[in-house]
Structure 1
Amino acid sequence: MRNFRTAAVAAATAASVAFAGTSVAFAAENTEETSLSSELSSANEKVKEDDSDATLSSKWGDATEGDKKVTGADLFGENTADDTTNPTWAKAWREGTYAAIGSAIAGALFAAYNFAVYNHIIPAHVLDPIFRR
């Protein structure tokens, strides 16, 4: 029974981290993200229409201004509201970074909670009534 509980807690932690990551990625819907999704959709159409012998990464680079240089201050600086000068690939990278940071924080919180329950720092576990039948 102990191994089943451990596996169940591990599965619950993995599922919660996965759902936390997707909820963080879709949490803030604003015009910037909507314009980013429309930019990515138009880039996807350009890639589909491109019949050249180039690799897929080259096609995506051409469709998202892949050879344009961007600095960290451009993406994460004081004025990120005016995002018209940044290429699409950089905006997508920034939003993916935010989602990864949120997922990492959520995973660390779940891991700390599981550690505290396992070492009896927190006396009652939320899932105990389910497994004590």
Structure 2
Amino acid sequence: MLLNPMPNRRQSETFRLPVGEAGKEQTFFVTLGIVSVGNRLVINEVFLKHGKEGQALDAICDDAGIIISKLLQTGFPVADLCPGISILPVFDAKTEKCQPASILGATLQLIATEQQVLDKCCGLRSSGLGLETIANLGSD
């Protein structure tokens, strides 16, 4: 499915995301791009960065961001992937969830949580994540 071009300027929010066991965490930065679809704000774009440019992990982050973005832009409910991700054998009492073992899992969990926050802030009911297909974005 071909996607229509997204607006040149989009709202975004960047998160500092530590991943890994306590004391051995690696820090990543995740930027979530947000667009308006009808009367709803939808996460449709992800950028992942690790602090060390030019290393294999940085390339993996770039590629993962592209794949997740394409899934979001075609309406795939990325929250459905969360139950299958690798987790650390540590329960986070703050979030009442197990911690993802990788940046990919942590990013998927972040997207699921933030989309629910967007849905609540906008007064819209969420059915699962309810990510809508935005392939028709900009076709108005």
Give the number of the structure with larger relative contact order, counting CA–CA contacts within 8 Å between residues 6 or more apart.
1
* Fold-level similarity (TM above 0.5): no
TM-score calculated relative to the size of structure 2: 0.29
TM-score calculated relative to the size of structure 1: 0.30
Higher helix share: 1
